[in-house]
Amino acid sequence: CSLGDITNDDACYNKALEVSGNRSARAKRSLARNAYNRGEYEMSKNLWECAMALNSLYPDGWFALGAAALKARDVEKALDGFTRAVQLDPENGEAWNNIACLRNSWQLWENYSHVAADIGNFSLAMEALQKVLNLTDSKRVDAELIERMMQEVEKRALSSHPESALATSNYDCSDQIHVNSNIDWVGKSTSLDVELSRARQTENLVEWLGKILQQIVQSGGGAETWGLFARWHKLKGDLTMCSEALLKQVRSYQGSDLWKDRDRFKKFAHASLELCQNATDLSNPNIISTAKMRTPLTSIGWT
């Protein structure tokens, strides 16, 4: 390692690793520094992780790991590195400053939103997505994640029928009392509570998603966002507002290059068909009355 420090030759450090049976923390730290200086941040991050696994009581190493991870766009690993650095050296002001900046990093919250969605916790995912919008003045819009959330909300809304569950439970209640089977009624009541709890959770998700979409469209919004907002209004049974959102989506696709961009034209055509279908539904009193019978949610307006 000393020869490597003089010559700055990675071959010397690799030889040190070979001799030590890949157990030289100093050699790995030196290789990590050289990789960082060459701009190979991902390699530097991996080498620092290996070095710290061999000797974790090295504050500067944790800071260097955080710096390499930050350059490699691994925000969570960077935050972990800087946090470990201040645990060993509470006077490290630069590490504390980096931690404060990262906690207000939209990249961190965006990663968090994806992790939350992957494990099925869509409430946390929406909270994280809201944080990203607030930190970026609604300029950073993860349309793919919002689409996932919309699909989840639509699926839950279709499978949630608290009114029918209540009606069934009331019928079973009188029947069970007639035969004095209190145990069975407790089971029915518990099942009803679960159904109602899930319905309330779904309603909260719908409301939260609506607020997120409203925030995006008020800052401009693109064609995809207007399409999602139209689906949200349709989910709530407001076909008039759905048409307004679809019209804005169609207009967003229009432009001089519409006829030259095949994919864009296909999206334009699909949105136009959706708008026509929704107009047909608006003229059908049966569909309108069915939509009005849906569970009412707090109205969210937009301009």
> What is the block-wise mean pLDDT of the chain (303 residues), using blocks of 10 residues?
58 72 76 87 90 85 92 86 89 85 78 83 86 85 88 81 42 42 52 74 86 87 86 88 89 83 88 87 64 42 40
- Residue 231's identity, in one-letter code, is R
CA dist 227 and 212 (Å) reads: 14
In 89-181, alpha helices (H):
93-103, 106-118, 122-135, 143-159, 162-178
Q: Where are the beta strands (DSSP E) in the chain?
A: none
Per-residue confidence (pLDDT) for residue 2, from 0 to 100: 57
Span between the terminal Cα atoms of the chain, in Å? 67
Q: Which two tokens stand for residue 241?
A: 């507002």
The ranges assigned to domains in the chain are 2-103, 106-212, 220-303
- DSSP code for 40: -
Burial classification of residue 29, based on how many CB atoms lie within 10 Å of its CB (0-12 exposed, 13-18 middle, 19 or more buried)? buried
Q: Which two tokens stand for residue 12?
A: 């010397």
For residue 216, what are the CA distances in angstroms to 87, 123, 224, 303?
39, 18, 11, 12
CATH architecture of the domain covering 2-103: Alpha Horseshoe (1.25)
Residues 6+ positions from 83 with CB-CB distance below 8 Å: 99
Per-residue confidence (pLDDT) for residue 166, from 0 to 100: 37
CA dist 132 and 140 (Å) reads: 7
Per-residue confidence (pLDDT) for residue 160, from 0 to 100: 61
Per-residue confidence (pLDDT) for residue 81, from 0 to 100: 92
Whole-model pTM: value is 0.56
Per-residue confidence (pLDDT) for residue 9, from 0 to 100: 62
Q: Which of 213, 236, 234, 224 lies closest to 277 in space, CA to CA?
A: 234
Q: Which two tokens stand for residue 2?
A: 């000393």
